[in-house]
Amino acid sequence: MSQTPNALSLRDRVAVVTGAGRGIGAATSQMLARAGAHVALLDRDAAGVTRTAEAIGLAGGEALPFTNDITDSFAVERTLDRVMEEWGRLDVLVNNAGELREAPLDDLTDDDLEESLDINLRGTLVVTRAAVPLMMARGSGRVLSAASMSTRIGAVGLTAYAASKAAVVGMTRTWARELGPRGITANAVAPGLIDSETTRAVPAGELEATLSRLPARRLGQPDEVAAVYLFLASDLASFINGAVVGVDGGLLLV
């Protein structure tokens, strides 16, 4: 497998990526593996994590797929036990898994709200809570979580999603303060319009109208988000803590 420049090398480090079965999670897993990391892949989609693991293996990397629910504390702890048995350490956590329920406020159901908060907020908390002690044992680590530009632009129909992602930002900044003195940084990445199943579900006219005003004039690619995760996981980002990095093509300028 071709390696990234030494400054971005994650050789012999161990990463856990949630939501690794497709899209940004799959792209991030593969990019971390190209940088030399051993990668544990978590997703509810067994076929998806298997595909990602196979792609990493075919390229010469090392990955283990796990099918579980990140809101299940016991299942998450059991998975991380397996990671420790296999590789003996944990250096990077990428909380990428997410759930988007789109509905205007007057159509928003309790189920929509519960599902968004359960996956995006509680799932991120459960996995991070289980992973941090393993990082603390080494005195170093990176906790990276998926936020969203929807928390800053007030996207129509995304009340539940934006609320859950705003909570992720709040947790990230709290973790940065709590964990920074212990050698662990916590940062968030906030994608904008990325080429994904979710974005392709947006009505064509609405999407084209937004892209026509976006300075980049195009959708972002999963690899462009993955590259930011790689940078934040690397030694180059050791002095970045509590940040929210937008990957949005200038969406705030629209």
187 burial (CB, 10 Å; 0-12 / 13-18 / 19+) is buried
Note if 229 is an active site residue. Answer: no
Residues 28 and 193: their CA atoms lie apart, in Å, by 17
CB 245 within 8 A of CB 232: yes
CA count, 13 A, side-chain hemisphere, 31: 23
CB 122 within 8 A of CB 177: no
DSSP 250: S
Catalytic pick among 161, 169, 171, 244: 161
Residue ranges of alpha helices (H) inside 137-240 are 150-153, 159-179, 197-200, 204-213, 222-233
Containing 18, the helix (H) or strand (E) segment is: strand 14-18
How are strands ordered across the β-sheet holding 184-191? 62-67, 38-43, 14-18, 92-95, 141-146, 184-191, 244-247
CB 197 within 8 A of CB 23: yes
Name residue, tokens 């002095």: 239
The residues that are catalytic are: 161
